[in-house]
Each structure stands twice: as structure tokens, then as C-alpha cells.
Structure 1
Amino acid sequence: MTRWILSRPEALTESEQLQLKGVLADCPELKALAGHVRSFAQILTERQGERLPEWLDAVRRDDLPSLHTLAAGIDRDRDAVIAGLTLSWSPGVVEGHVNRIKMLKRQMFGRAGFALLRKRVPLSS
């Protein structure tokens, strides 16, 4: 069931689509959840961060406590989330360098000091 909700509708077989429709027809809460999940996926994949406040309001109107928790977490850092979903650049390269440096630091833990780490970081790139 989770896979059906998280998959693109066109990726499901006819049988799976019919079964999902049947289940969603029997459970209004699950139907609302599926709608919110799919609209959030669309916001993510199409980089439509400007639609996030409208999505958060729609989630709060339904009685879905697990999504309310997600919405509250997103709301705490709303501007950053909207920027991440809207802007074309990514901090991925910087995060990759930070991870590499942390890995080197963990490998050397207890063996050497900062001086060796300073020499080793430029040599590892």
C-alpha cells in the first residue's frame, strides 16, 4: 500500500491502480494522506517551493497527526525549505567536502593532531 501511494500513478499496473482506488474509497483519511503525499512529491520534483505554504495550510486542515508533525518541522525552517525547493543551486559540493574532511578526521582519531590533519586534507582531494 505504501509503495502504491509513493509511486507515480502511471508506474502502477492496472490491477494496482484499481486496488488502490478501492482502498482509498473505503478510507477517507488514507485518501487525504495520499493526496497530500502526491502533491508534496510534485512540489519536490518540479521544484515548486512557492506552493509549500499552500500545501502546509492544506495539511493543517486535515486530521492527520503524522503529517502535522512533518508540517511543524518544515515550518520551523520554512524560508530555507522554500529556497531549497525553488533555487537552482545546491550546497551538495560543499557538503561533499565537509563529509570528506570528517571522514579523514575520524580515521585519524587519537593518532595525530591538527597539524597532520591540515596536511592531509589538501592531499586527499
Structure 2
Amino acid sequence: KALTDKEFTKLMDMFHYSSRLHRAYVLKQAFSRVLMFKDKENIQWAIDQWLSLVASSELPEFKSLLKTFKFWREEIVNALTLPYSNGFTEGCNNKIKALKRCAFGIQNFERFRNRILFINAKKGHATITSHVLPKSA
């Protein structure tokens, strides 16, 4: 989203008082340009350029970011280049955890299991009948 003239003026005023804020903003803008690339080679090149900017910025708030990119580089590049993610699975896990918090103290596991299947089935993600297993003896 582009800034309005009034917002831009306020931003420039803030930069006048804080050079660190200005450097952090420049890094944020530079990273948004990294995201414009879609192929692996260009993204790797852009990330390298951006990380060198981060290192030269001497902002202590960004030191952990350098470590993160060092250890998770391949995964970050894959997340930016591949057309799929684990977002759906994470969403299902989040729903289950929320349901688990609400159902604290309920002792009937079968009901809890069926409720999990129901909340996923109602949006067309699964069918209850295909997932319900017979009770074990």
C-alpha cells in the first residue's frame, strides 16, 4: 500500500529523529523487492544482496534474522519459490488445539474425535464417514 502525502511527511519526520528507524525501513523496503522474484536463482541472489545490507546496517534487532536465514535458507527459498505450503495442515492443527482447549475435562475421546472430524468436514475438507473407524473392543 502506498503512503499518502501526510503519512510520508510523518515518516520523514520520524526518520529525522531516528536514523536506526530509517535503516530498518530501508531494509524492509529492500526485502519487499526480494519478494518480487519468483525463480530460485534470482531469489537466492536477491536474498544474498539483502543479507549483506542487513549485516552492514549494524542494527542489533536484525542479528537473529541473519542466524535464521543462515540455518533456514533452503526452506525460506523453497517457501518463496514453490507453489505449495503446509498452511492447510497448520490451520487444521490450530482448529484442533482450539477445540481441545474448549473441551478441557471431557473424558469421551470418541466424541472429541468425531467433533474434530465434523469441524473439518463441514467445510468440505473431509467426510466423516470415510474417517470414522470402528470402536476397538
Q: Report the TM-score when normalising by structure 2.
A: 0.64
Match of 1:36 among 23, 27, 37: 27
- Structure with the larger helix share: 1
Matched with 1:114 is: 109
- Aligned with 1:69: secondary structure? helix
* Aligned counterpart, 2:133: none
> May I ask how many residue pairs the two structures share in their alignment?
115
Tell me the amino acid that sits aligned with residue 33 of structure 2. Answer: Q
Task: Give how far 1:94 is off.
Answer: 1.4
Structure 1 unmatched runs, 5+: 1-7
Q: Which has the higher contact order (CA 8 A, sep 6+)?
A: 1
CA distance in 1, matches of 2:19, 2:97: 47
Q: Give the secondary structure class of the aligned counterpart of 1:89.
A: coil
3-state SS in 1 of match to 2:105: coil
**Which of 3, 8, 16 in structure 2 is aligned with 1:17?**
8
Structure 1 residues 28, 106: closer, same or farther in 2, change over 3 A? closer
Question: If the length of structure 1 is used for normalisation, what is the TM-score?
Answer: 0.68
Q: What is the CA distance between 1:22 and its match in structure 2?
A: 6.1
- 1:100 Cα deviation (Å)? 1.4
Letter in 2 for 1:11: L
| Structure 2 equivalent of residue 91 of structure 1 | 86
The CA distance in 2 between the partners of 1:19 and 1:115, in whole Å, is 58
Residue 118 of structure 2 is aligned to residue 123 of structure 1:
yes
Aligned to 1:67: 62
Q: 1:5 maps to which residue?
A: none
Q: CA deviation at 1:89?
A: 1.7
